[in-house]
């Protein structure tokens, strides 16, 4: 039950950030694209090249972790 509530709050906050980002895109002193990217990151929507880099870094970390476990 708590997991569902956390997911709902996270999704709501992400949508609010995206809406604020779109609105603040028309205001000169506020960087709207930063809010939009933060909202998309909370939703888990990542561009393809970022997703590939994330997976390669995760694989490299996992291999190093496995190697350190084997040497112990």
Q: Which two tokens stand for residue 71?
A: 């040497």
Q: Which runs of E-coded beta strand occur in 1-72?
A: none
DSSP 72: -
Q: Can you give the residue ranges of every domain in the chain? A: 2-71
Q: How confident is the model at residue 72 (pLDDT cuts 50, 70, 90)?
A: low
Distance in angstroms (rounded) separating the CA atoms of residues 70 and 62: 12
Q: Convert the pLDDT of each residue in 43-57 to its tens digit.
A: 887 677 777 887 888
**Closest to 39 (Cα-Cα) out of 16, 7, 6:** 16
The end-to-end CA distance of the chain, in Å, is 40
Q: The pTM is what? A: 0.58
Distance in angstroms (rounded) separating the CA atoms of residues 23 and 35: 10
């Amino acid at each position: 039950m708590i997991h569902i509530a956390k997911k709902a709050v996270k999704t709501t906050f992400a949508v609010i950030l995206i809406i604020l980002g779109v609105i603040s895109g028309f205001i000169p002193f506020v960087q709207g694209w930063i809010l939009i990217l933060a909202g998309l990151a909370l939703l888990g929507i990542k561009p393809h090249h970022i997703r590939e880099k994330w997976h390669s870094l995760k694989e490299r970390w996992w291999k190093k972790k496995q190697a350190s476990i084997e040497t112990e």
